[in-house]
Amino acid sequence: MKNSIQVFFKKIYYPVYLIIFLSLAGPNAEAQYFGFKINSGKISVRLEYTTLNNLVIIPVKLNNQVPLNLVMDTGVRSTILTDRRFTDFLRLPYDRVITINGPGDFSTLEAYVVTQIDLHLEGVTGYDQTILVLSNDYLRLSSVLGSQVHGMIGYDFYNRFVMDFDFPNNTVLLKEPRKFVPPKNYCELPLMIEDTKPYIWATITTGDSATIRVKLMIDTGASHSLLLKEDPDLGILVPEKNITSEIGRGLGGSIEGKIGKINSLTIGDFTFRDVITSFPDPDNYPDTLSIIDRNGTIGGEILSRFRMFIDYRHSKIYLRKNQNFTKKFGYNMSGISVIAEGKDLDNYRISNVRKESPADLAGVRVNDKILTINGYNCEDMTLGEIYKIFNYDPGKMIRVFLERDNEVVKTQFELVDPI
């Protein structure tokens, strides 16, 4: 029998984001131990991870057999696999089928619940887990991130440990909460855990310099800096200088919105200026921000500027500046979105062109394959390196060779900052 559940997907990757919200409650079979546990009786373990567009990607083995790469994501509850080939390969039984309503075109899709799964990390094991498996790879995380990524791991993992994120060194220390001693010389903030998601209070200033207190979700599964829900009653308005753009893709398709800059964002003792901010279009995007009374989300572009301890058990977060704190905020000035294709994910195709953007005015089209950028062969570049070229330096000239209908097309355009 199919169960119906409303699940909203978003989660971030440049130049658009895709954040995933999931509320899934499934039965767990009885076991000697269930949940995540540090192996060998230790009280802490340090994990190494890779970073893709401000997302933390950790290696995980499914039932200690199939290697996966999962996004560490405070925006989801249970582990999600985006490709059912892995569970099919292990011939795992599907406990039940659920229907999913996604943003974009609000399509109804199917997913499967799998129970009694073990997840193995380096020095940590998650016993008797319940996971959600999408019936098809709707999200195409590998293509949009340019590397093999197979899903997300969320609350069931975060809730078990105190996590110390050292972003510049790509490591996270997991520690038993009972042995955790709060760090000195950090900014300590209360953390609100609601429906398995972490929230903090912050303040923003807008174009008229009004100071507004906002409730924001901490979302390690979103690579944007800040997302806000427009609220005229509070004074949260889309900046006068903005661009209309595809700001994300969900299960139902494209999510439209606007991108602009707010004057400042203050979190505890720390203030950021001229913050690039996304504003979802309420007519194109389900009102997920109202499921929990909140004003938006903070993503990896800001979180990666801190040394961060996150402690669900004691409802605390601890922040200290790291070397990336003063890094300039960037966004895609070219106007084109790119996906990675091919066996090695080293073929790059244009998936979206923003209207009236520099690339659009230069004749770049959807489905063009990018061959070279400013003389560099794209097959020798990562997707992140390609976006880095587009995200900064207004006035920079971009020269590209494209493949279109088996012909080579040459064009050029100048990066422009319209906001």
Residue-wise pLDDT tens digits, 271-317: 999 999 999 888 765 545 455 689 999 999 999 999 999 999 999 99
Residue 28 clears pLDDT 70, i.e. is over it? no
CA distance 386 to 383: 5
The two counts, helices (H) then strands (E), for the chain are 6, 32
Whole-number average pLDDT of the chain: 88
Q: What is the C-alpha R_g of the chain?
A: 21
pLDDT band at 150 (very low <50, low <70, confident <90, very high): very high
pLDDT, position 209: 75
pLDDT, position 14: 39
How many other C-beta atoms can be found within 10 angstroms of the C-beta atom of residue 99?
14
Mean pLDDT over 391-418 rounds to: 96
Matching residue, tokens 């197979």: 150
The alpha carbon of residue 285 and the mean position of all alpha carbons in its chain are separated, in whole angstroms, by 17
Residue 11 clears pLDDT 50, i.e. is over it? no
Exposure class string for 123-157: b at 16+ Cβ within 10 A, else e: ebbbbbbbbbbbeebbbbbbbbbbbebbbbbbbbb
pLDDT, position 292: 60
pLDDT, position 252: 57
| Cross-strand bridge partners of residue 96 | 113
Highest averaged pLDDT of the listed ranges 19-33, 127-141, 206-220, 391-405: 391-405
- In order of 68, 268, 345, 357, 395, the CA distances from 338 in angstroms are 23, 36, 12, 15, 21
pLDDT band at 137 (very low <50, low <70, confident <90, very high): confident
Mean pLDDT over 262-270 rounds to: 97
Mean pLDDT over 342-347 rounds to: 94
Phi/psi at 36 (nearest 5 deg)? -90, 140
Residue 117 clears pLDDT 60, i.e. is over it? yes
Question: Closest Cα to residue 387, out of 333, 328, 307?
Answer: 333
CA distance 123 to 45: 6
pLDDT tens, 206-260? Answer: 977 789 999 999 999 988 999 999 999 999 999 999 999 888 766 556 678 999 9
Residue 332 near residue 391 (C-beta atoms within 8 A): yes
Residue 18 clears pLDDT 80, i.e. is over it? no
Question: Closest Cα to residue 282, out of 231, 226, 240?
Answer: 231
56 SS3 class? strand
pLDDT tens, 45-97? Answer: 999 999 999 999 999 999 999 999 999 999 888 899 998 999 999 999 999 99
From 103-112, 121-130, 157-166, the region with the lowest mean pLDDT: 103-112
Q: What would the DSSP string read from start to end of 69-114?
A: EEEE-TT-SSEEES-THHHHHTTPPP-EEEEEE-SBS--EEEEEEE
CA distance 22 to 130: 13
Question: Closest Cα to residue 74, out of 183, 225, 195, 227?
Answer: 195
Residue 60 near residue 152 (C-beta atoms within 8 A): no
Mean pLDDT over 337-343 rounds to: 95
Highest averaged pLDDT of the listed ranges 4-13, 92-101, 138-147, 266-275: 266-275
Could you give the dihedral angle defined by the CA atoms of residues 12, 13, 17 and 19, in that order, rounded to the nearest 10 degrees? -20
Longest dimension (CA), the chain: 63
CA distance 218 to 21: 12
Could you give the dihedral angle defined by the CA atoms of residues 197, 203, 207 and 208, in that order, rounded to the nearest 10 degrees? 140
Phi/psi at 88 (nearest 5 deg)? -65, -40
Residue 107 clears pLDDT 70, i.e. is over it? no
pTM: 0.89
Structural tokens at position 46: 């340090």
| Cross-strand bridge partners of residue 8 | 21
Let me know if 35 is exposed, middle or buried by CB neighbors in 10 A (0-12, 13-18, 19+). middle
